[in-house]
C-alpha cells in the first residue's frame, strides 16, 4: 500500500520537476538523494532540501550560455571526425 504523502512536499517536488523538465519521481529521488547525502532525516528536513534545490533550479539561466537547451545542443553536436560515421550491420 502506498504511503500517505505530505501535500506541501509533493507540491515542492512537482515544481522542481517542472523547472528541471524531469518526472515527479525523478525529482523526489533527487531530493531523497540530497537528503541522504546531507544525513537529513524527517519530512521537515526533506522539505527544506527540496526548497533549496527548487531555488537553485529557478536561479539557473533559462536562456543563454548556461541554459539546459544550450547544454543539450552542445552535447548533440557531432565531432568533426565523427560527422560521417555510419554503423554497418
SS (H, E, C) the chain: CCCCCCHHHHHHHHHHHHHHCCCHHHHHHHHHHHHHHCCCCCHHHHHHHHHHHHHHHHHCCCCCCCCHHHHHHHHHCCCHHHCCCCCCC
- Domain-located, residue 69: no
- Domain-located, residue 57: yes
- Domain-located, residue 49: yes
pLDDT score at 57: 86
pTM: 0.66
- Domain-located, residue 82: no
Q: Which of 37, 36, 47, 39 is nearest to 5 (CA)?
A: 47
**Residue 34, all three cell numbers:** 540530497
Domain that holds residue 1: 1-61
- Counting the structural domains of the chain, the total is 1
Which has more pLDDT, 71 or 6? Answer: 6
- Domain-located, residue 81: no
- Domain-located, residue 74: no
pLDDT digits (tens, 9 = 90+) for 2-52: 565 789 999 999 999 988 888 999 999 999 999 999 998 888 999 999 999
- Domain-located, residue 70: no
- Domain-located, residue 83: no
pLDDT score at 1: 41
Amino acid at each position: 500500500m502506498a504511503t500517505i504523502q505530505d501535500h506541501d512536499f509533493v507540491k515542492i517536488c512537482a515544481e522542481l520537476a517542472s523547472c528541471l523538465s524531469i518526472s515527479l519521481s525523478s525529482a523526489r529521488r533527487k531530493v531523497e538523494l540530497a537528503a541522504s547525502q546531507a544525513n537529513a532525516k524527517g519530512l521537515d528536513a526533506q522539505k527544506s532540501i527540496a526548497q533549496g534545490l527548487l531555488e537553485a533550479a529557478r536561479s539557473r539561466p533559462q536562456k543563454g550560455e548556461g541554459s539546459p537547451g544550450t547544454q543539450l545542443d552542445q552535447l548533440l553536436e557531432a565531432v568533426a571526425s565523427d560527422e560521417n560515421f555510419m554503423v554497418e550491420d
